[in-house]
Amino acid sequence: MKINVEIPNSLSDITLRQYKHYLKIQKTVEDDKFLGAKIIEIFCKIRLEDVMRLKFNDAELITDSLVKMFDQKPKLVRHFKLGKTKYGFHPQLDDLTLGEYIDLDTYIGDWENMEKAMNVLYRPVDLNIKDKYTIKKYDVTNYDTMLDMPMDAVISSIFFFWNLGLELSKTMTNYLGKEHSKVLTQYLISQPNGVGITHFTDSLKATLQDLKISQT
């Protein structure tokens, strides 16, 4: 019986929903061979029973190809489409509100809620003129939509903030103004396990380690 397998060519062909599914399976499966079969099932979107019918060598090659995709370090993805809706990376991060910053800081390193962090960073494009664009206001209830966003956008935005490092905290403090800066400072100091920016960068580091990606 011939089995057709469509192997993703890049991280743009894999969704955040699929990756989160894989992470859950990874925690419960101890056998490497069976985990490899689940990887093919999840990322190639074929039934497990069909995966089991593949030749062993073919299955190994497919698994290796899929795993190697996560070695990619994509440049920041500024736009992607979900259905007919175009999404854009936040064009003015220094305009983030305190609430948006707190949500981003809280969820950026939490794979259980990564879509909530992505919901802060990527919004439906409101107006697009050449290279300039505006995005819609933050909708805290829209995060489920981000489960279907491409993984190259997820990973590239994580790298973006890792490289940005402490500058994000400085920028936020400068642009929020005195009143909001006081609130932000109080929030950062009140966070468990150290100030918020430490939590933020530590979360990004842990996230990259989950992806088995080196920060350098």
**Residue spans per domain, the chain:** 11-69, 79-210
130 pLDDT tier (thresholds 50, 70, 90): confident
The pLDDT assigned to 160 comes to 83
Tens digits of per-residue pLDDT, 102-129? 898 888 878 899 999 999 999 999 998 8
37 backbone φψ class: left, alpha, beta (φ>0; ψ -120 to 50): alpha
Work out the percent of the chain whose per-residue pLDDT is above 90.
Answer: 47
Buried (b) or exposed (e) across 63-81, using 16+ Cβ within 10 A?
beebeebbeeebeebbebe
The pLDDT assigned to 211 comes to 61
The pLDDT assigned to 177 comes to 52
214 pLDDT tier (thresholds 50, 70, 90): very low
Cα–Cα dist 89/66, whole Å: 26
The pLDDT assigned to 106 comes to 86
The pLDDT assigned to 208 comes to 59
Q: Distances in Å between the alpha carbon of 121 and those of 54, 92, 108, 189, 214?
A: 40, 10, 10, 24, 23
Burial of 164 from C-beta contacts in 10 A (0-12 / 13-18 / 19+): middle
The pLDDT assigned to 108 comes to 83
Question: Which region among 36-50, 143-157, 195-209 has the lowest average model confidence (pLDDT)?
Answer: 195-209
Average pLDDT, rounded, for the chain: 81
In a 3-state reduction of DSSP, which class is residue 164?
helix
Higher pLDDT, 68 or 141: 141
Q: What is the mean pLDDT of residues 183-203?
A: 45
Among all chains, which residue has been given the structure tokens 């854009």? 88
Whether 193 has a pLDDT exceeding 80, the answer reads no
